[in-house]
Structure 1
């Protein structure tokens, strides 16, 4: 199947799914993104996922994420040249190329909204070459908040376990995803102490139960503050009924409305903690390949 027909098929799926969720899909925002990276959908290793979240800032949005071809070394340059995101003098615009200058990035992901358009680029490292946060902190364009929190990462056994970096261009933040997280990081007492140490809101019992089932976590950093802005714990499952928590109505509607491929449906269910409270998000895989990176 040609890339162009893959683009048309995926756009139709996004548009219909958004409609079922009462989200007004913007063709002007979505089609140029799919067209810019159309080779990604024709590739045998294509991965596509859909996501919703319960936070107020995410209401009325339906997100899509896909992985680009591993040989696409500069997806940010493509985004700028295609007018998907404006060129900027802010360090966020230089960060991806500087990461490539220091590390081997195995593949990228692109994140966009049916309403808001282009949002993020992810850079994934190989599982046998996880990066050290201390090394990444030396990158000139990296938020200084990464260096400010190196002691926190070291105390929790996370310093040398960075598997993915996600760069959010509109919000000017960076997500740092940790792989092979020590099991004790998901114990209720450790979660409580972690959240208190970083100034997050007191978690609910529901959050602690989900945290115990988590496979990974990530933190969000910005350029304007030395503090961690958000911590997210994520659990993977093929059956939401096996999770130890009830599923929010918005997420139930999402599950009923979006399609999926393959015999088993794969979900990544996450809870994000901020100083103001917690919210939930669910990613459902539309196209999936074994060995693809799990993150939300």
Structure 2
């Protein structure tokens, strides 16, 4: 991998974690992705690994990292290297449209060790959260975001957009919100939000975790008019301190990840969907102070 010792270390950590999880990685795919973005690891960027309890993530291991330099859109490189196919679908035009209209402060990559290149994250300056109506007005954006404008305004979220994430193979978009109003983390507010989105009544686990969450995100796509998913995430250095029991599958995952630095950090999330809730856990092979948490 071009002689980059940082990339080689990351590769070994990813492959070892997959082995411990009983996942058979597509080694050439992992090498190709890490090599394409090798300059990220030259600059000691953190690597996060994630597992989840839903069917979509079964049999794979998700990896994510911040790209370097932060002002370079990583999607064209993925296309040129053959990491993801070209497409005429609006998903292929969305990131460049966001870049043209908003002050993107940095990018991240998400890939599976089996399924390969998946997402690109585009983050805005933490002191300059963006307005949702302007994001919803992008022609390539799924119309469900604009259709739900009243929902975001009523819950005080319409000027608190911190990140977006575009999932190319699944053709979905995540919209992340920071500095969310306290009511969005309180039981009555959460029940109202889920009801407004047509999602099932929240479990006690979701309510307990959401009460300590640092933010939330929604998921939407081009095929359905509404919001597919609402997720809350909590950061911690000690899984036993969480207000919910950790799923045994995620405990095994946490124990499987080797660690390359001090101060291990976790991000634990719970997602509400039309078919029920699922949990996910992100942990870090490397963590830099100031790194933004996703879930």
When the two structures are superposed, what TM-score results if normalisation uses the length of structure 1? 0.96
C-alpha displacement at 1:264, in angstroms?
Answer: 1.7
State how 1:85-234 maps to structure 2 within 5 Å. Answer: 85-234=84-233
Aligned length: 294
C-alpha displacement at 1:204, in angstroms?
Answer: 1.6
Q: Which residue of 2 aligns with 1:14?
A: 14
Deviations 1:237-289, CA, capped at 9 Å, x for gaps: 11111111111110110111102233221000000110000000000022222
- Residue 128 of structure 1: SS of its match in structure 2? coil
Distance 1:148 1:218 in 2: 17
Q: Which residue of 1 aligns with 2:42?
A: 42
Distance 2:234 2:70 in 1: 29
Q: CA RMSD in A?
A: 1.2
CA contact (8 A) 2:229 2:271 kept: yes
- Residue 295 of structure 1: SS of its match in structure 2? coil
C-alpha displacement at 1:28, in angstroms?
Answer: 2.2
When the two structures are superposed, what TM-score results if normalisation uses the length of structure 2? 0.97
Q: Which residue of 2 aligns with 1:77?
A: 76
- Structure 1 residue 31 and structure 2 residue 31: aligned? yes
Q: Which residue of 2 aligns with 1:263?
A: 262
Deviations 1:144-171, CA, capped at 9 Å, x for gaps: 1111111111111110110000000001
C-alpha displacement at 1:104, in angstroms?
Answer: 1.4
Q: Which residue of 1 aligns with 2:65?
A: 66
C-alpha displacement at 1:203, in angstroms?
Answer: 2.0
CA contact (8 A) 2:40 2:69 kept: no
Distance 2:3 2:194 in 1: 44
Distance 1:118 1:218 in 2: 21
Distance 2:27 2:145 in 1: 36
Distance 1:158 1:29 in 2: 38
Structure 2: gaps (5+ residues):
none
- Residue 176 of structure 1: SS of its match in structure 2? strand
Distance 1:201 1:213 in 2: 21
Distance 1:123 1:277 in 2: 28
- Greater Cα shift, 186-195 or 162-171: 186-195
C-alpha displacement at 1:5, in angstroms?
Answer: 1.7
